[in-house]
Amino acid sequence: MDSKSKIVFAAVFFMIFFSLKISEAHTIFPNEEEYQVSVDKVPVPVGGYEGIMKKIIYPAMAIQTRTEGKVYMLVYLNENGDVEEAKIVKGIGGGCDEEAVKAVKKSKFIAATQNGALVKTKFAVALNFKLP
């Protein structure tokens, strides 16, 4: 192999290696690929989304700064309906993001099903923070 071929080979190798490393860095949760996105029956929180909102204590910082809006998160749910992880996708700050994650993690869900079997799933949740 001549020196030009070696340089091209090395360049291609490093491009592939780094692209694989970059794609690994974009995973949000370990073993994320085990979680279904498209399911026959979507998960539902026990007590509805109102039940989740009842678990939220409006943060003092958010009250002081008059922070309102929707907190968007990605929730990872196991086959038993337990929340394994909740990650903020778009937050509003003022402590609302952390409070939303806490409330979702305290919640129990009716698990998702695919072809009649309970499955792990990931899905989006939006919680609306509105000052009283």
pLDDT value for 95: 97
34-129, superfamily in CATH? Answer: TonB (3.30.2420.10)
Helix, strand, or coil (residue 86): strand
Mean pLDDT of the chain: 84
Q: Domain segments of the chain: what residues?
A: 1-30, 34-129
Termini Cα distance of the chain: 73
| pLDDT at residue 63 is higher than 90 | yes
pLDDT tens for 10-32 read 444 444 444 444 444 455 566 77
Residue with tokens 């290696």: 17
Token pair for residue 13? Answer: 């190798």
pLDDT tens for 71-89 read 999 999 999 999 999 999 9
Token pair for residue 114? Answer: 């695919």
pLDDT value for 27: 57
pLDDT band at 4 (very low <50, low <70, confident <90, very high): low
